[in-house]
Amino acid sequence: MSTLIPVVLSGGSGSRLWPLSRALRPKQFLSITDEATLFQLTLQRLQGIQGDGEAMCPIVVANDDHRFLVGEQCREVGVTPLAILLEPVARNTAPAIAAAAFAAQALAAADTGDDPVLLVLPSDHVFSNVPAFHHAVRVGLQAAHAGALVTFGIVPTHAETGYGYVQAREPLNANQAVPVSRFVEKPDLLTAQAYVDDGSYTWNSGMFMFKASVFLQELAKTDAAMHKACEAAWTDAKKDLEFVRLDKAAFASSPSNSVDYAVMEKTDKAVVVPLDAGWNDVGAWSAVWQVLPQDAQGNAQRGDVVLEGTTGSYVHADSRLVTLIGVQDLVVVETSDAVLVVHKDKTQDVKKVVDQLKASKRPETEQHREVFRPWGSYDSVDQGGRFQVKRIKVNPGAKLSLQMHHHRAEHWVVVTGTAKVRLGDDYRLVTENESVYIPVGTVHSLENPGKVPLHLIEVQSGSYLGEDDIVRMEDLYGRL
């Protein structure tokens, strides 16, 4: 039997879950439905697929901007990926999967010498019935070993216009993969209802399973240019810390296309396994409301929330108390720098607001007030014409780059933990309630040598306080 290698695609933007989901920390890396993030839930769901209870080591395909998020969140749940492939540019799902297939072949050849089977999963879906998910994967595995390209079709619970559909050529069977008749685009409501009534249609989940060699052979037939570009991107890839950087020129030359259009709709090897496991793609705030526990009035909430005379609503409070009185069917999402209020039936339109904000070059689409770095995070709590105050957290054992600034001085006050500070050629330990001053132009670094997080307040002052006034000399994370 071939090795089974999960491929987790984590490059989405999740703009419909703004203001919580943003470009530099999209929904898959957020705790939307659980204490674990959607990405971490995907990794944890891999445990037990083969019945041995062992966690599986996936290949993760990620956006370069998210590489440290991926690494940190894998470590938090004890998963060591076989590889973390970094896409230099976005090219949709087909090139991402093709690059992963070339990587899987190379890794399997070096390890077991066999032709691996890939289980391709988006990183932002949830399941209420994980055993049913595992069962469907095992059914699909049999078909993949036989040379089929497997797609997993979600058994529809209602007429849905937001998903594509997959029609089976034979009656659907939870214990067997059946040939695909056709893939169809997102329908109107009348057509969607006809599909549900027909019984041969499932929702297109975006999850697949196939041998790496079979997928690449089919891709070479259906899109030779993409096959060639992705092979070159893998062949010329460079190792960078724990990541593998796909060659930018080669990957950028690939056509941009989904795996459905590039391969699945054109192959004669496509089969579908029906999946009835409480699936939700968490594609909008209304979907989040659906998957979370609700009170007797149909309300779901997270954070510091008080409701009075409110029904059918979802409230997310990130940084302060939020109250609703006498309303129904609303979604209210509060973060430290933005508040969203939308009717539950209009949550798909959140993307339109995000597009407006992007056109205005508003920073609220890119990152939160709290910005995450490989060493920890910082939160800009106050700023004026010539000053800025940040709350900084440095993880145990982490270290900021050795750097200097041309335009600003900094004053650090340690709140908890111990800081190891370098000023020029001088080193010192700064403990709780102590401070240190860094003059303009002084080479400096900050390290947490302890076992607990280091928290400090940073006061910046100067004529220019932008993040681009950082000259790095040394960096553990390759950001020179």
pLDDT in tens, 375-397: 999 999 998 989 999 999 999 99
Strand partners, 426: 423
Q: Which CATH number do you get for residue 467?
A: 2.60.120.10
Residue 213 confidence class, pLDDT cut points 50, 70, 90: very high
Domain termination residue (choose one: 308, 332, 358): 358
Q: In the prediction, which pLDDT does 44 show?
A: 94
Query: What percent of the chain stands above pLDDT 70?
Result: 98
Domain that holds residue 452: 370-474
Q: In the prediction, which pLDDT does 196 show?
A: 94
Q: Do 303 and 417 belong to one domain?
A: no
pTM given for the model: 0.89
Is 285 domain-assigned? no
Is 391 domain-assigned? yes
Q: Do 93 and 23 belong to one domain?
A: yes
Residue with tokens 């019945």: 51
Which tokens belong to 159?
A: 């007429």
b or e along 47-71 (b: 16 or more beta carbons within 10 Å of the residue's beta carbon)? Answer: bbbeeeeebbbbbbbbbeebbbbbb
Q: Do 320 and 407 belong to one domain?
A: no
Is 38 domain-assigned? yes
pLDDT at 146 over 60: yes
Q: Do 415 and 469 belong to one domain?
A: yes
Q: Do 390 and 260 belong to one domain?
A: no
Q: Regarding beta strands 300-302 and 314-317, do their DSSP bridges make them parallel or antiparallel, or are they unpaired?
A: parallel
Domain termination residue (choose one: 358, 393, 414): 358
Number of domains within the chain: 3
Which tokens belong to 115?
A: 């032709």
Q: Are 369 and 389 in contact (CB under 8 A)?
A: no
Q: Do 260 and 301 belong to one domain?
A: no
Is 363 domain-assigned? no
Is 479 domain-assigned? no
Q: Do 109 and 234 belong to one domain?
A: yes
Strand partners, 61: 9, 85
Q: Regarding beta strands 243-245 and 126-127, do their DSSP bridges make them parallel or antiparallel, or are they unpaired?
A: unpaired
Q: What is the mean pLDDT of residues 346-359?
A: 95
Q: Are 318 and 20 in contact (CB under 8 A)?
A: yes
Q: Do 269 and 343 belong to one domain?
A: no
Q: What is the mean pLDDT of residues 326-331?
A: 97
Q: Do 339 and 266 belong to one domain?
A: no
Residue with tokens 């674990």: 36
Q: Do 117 and 218 belong to one domain?
A: yes
From start to end of 299-416, where are the E strands?
300-302, 305-308, 314-317, 322-325, 330-334, 339-343, 370-373, 376-383, 387-394, 402-404, 408-416
Residue with tokens 């060591």: 80
Residue 53 confidence class, pLDDT cut points 50, 70, 90: low
Residue 479 confidence class, pLDDT cut points 50, 70, 90: confident
Is 480 domain-assigned? no
Q: Do 205 and 312 belong to one domain?
A: no
Q: Do 213 and 345 belong to one domain?
A: no
